[in-house]
Amino acid sequence: MGDFRLDPDNLNYTIILPKDKSTCKVCSIKEEPAQVLKFDSKQVKIYPIKTEVEPSKFELQGDRFKSSPSHGYEELIVDREKHGDNFSNLSPEDTAKLLSVISDRIIALSDYKIGDNIIITRCLSGHGAFDLHILPIPKFERRGCSVCKDNLNTKDREIYKDENFVIYAKFAPISDLDIVISPIKHLSFEALDEVLLFDLAGLIQRLIKTLNSGDISLVIYESAGRHATVEVLSGCVSAYRFLQINEVNVAPEEAAKKLREKFKI
């Protein structure tokens, strides 16, 4: 991860990330996995990537600079050794097993109080892996659960509904395609039993096959009220883009230094 900064004028977050020269996070891993889990006849390997977000070097001075309020965390949950993704070809049974692994990671990592935002993303055009981030920024909370309220107000955006789940197009999408799948009842991932996880897995696979595109992403998270939610979006969507955090590669101090040197000439 990188250095988080908060703009005091519009309260938007920016993360300063040095450009990653590697083309694939998973392919560039050289360390041994921290955990190996059985996944049918295969394995799911968990690799911690970086254990901290670098705190800003600038503390709060008046209202101009604000450092990240805490450290963050990132790990890769890898279910495919070779480059390329076969998620859309998985059976509902195998998809449910992967969702169970993710659910267990959300539950386990929530106990560490690293940060409020646990976001898991997967680009179906990339390597077969889920990218889990715990970001040190607060969740937007409002009275009552935001997902519960959205579930009851889908109107002409509703795509499918049964006794347990609803699928609908998001009211304020962040990409051309932004589809929400969530339990109708207020349930966290911890509260989803094997039957509900299997049903959720089946709906995800059914939606992916209906879309018939490799250029989509899955985003898995819980709302501020801990309502389990899955979103399917067009394009390769990172955790930062999903939370609408600005991503830049050059720190303003570095940009200013280069310009100062040129400006003197």
Confidence at residue 206, expressed as pLDDT on a 0 to 100 scale: 96
Residue of 86, 174, 76 lying closest to 125 (CA atoms): 86
The series of mean pLDDT values per 10 residues for the chain, 265 residues long, is 77 82 82 85 84 48 45 86 88 92 90 80 93 80 80 92 96 94 95 96 96 93 90 94 90 90 78
Domain of residue 189, residue span:
3-263
Assessment of whether the complete model's pTM goes beyond 0.85: yes
Instruction: Encode burial over 154-170: b for 16+ CB neighbours within 10 A, e otherwise.
Output: beeeeeeeeeebbbbeb
Confidence at residue 176, expressed as pLDDT on a 0 to 100 scale: 94
Residue 28 maps to which CATH number? Answer: 3.30.428.10
Number of structural domains in the chain? 1
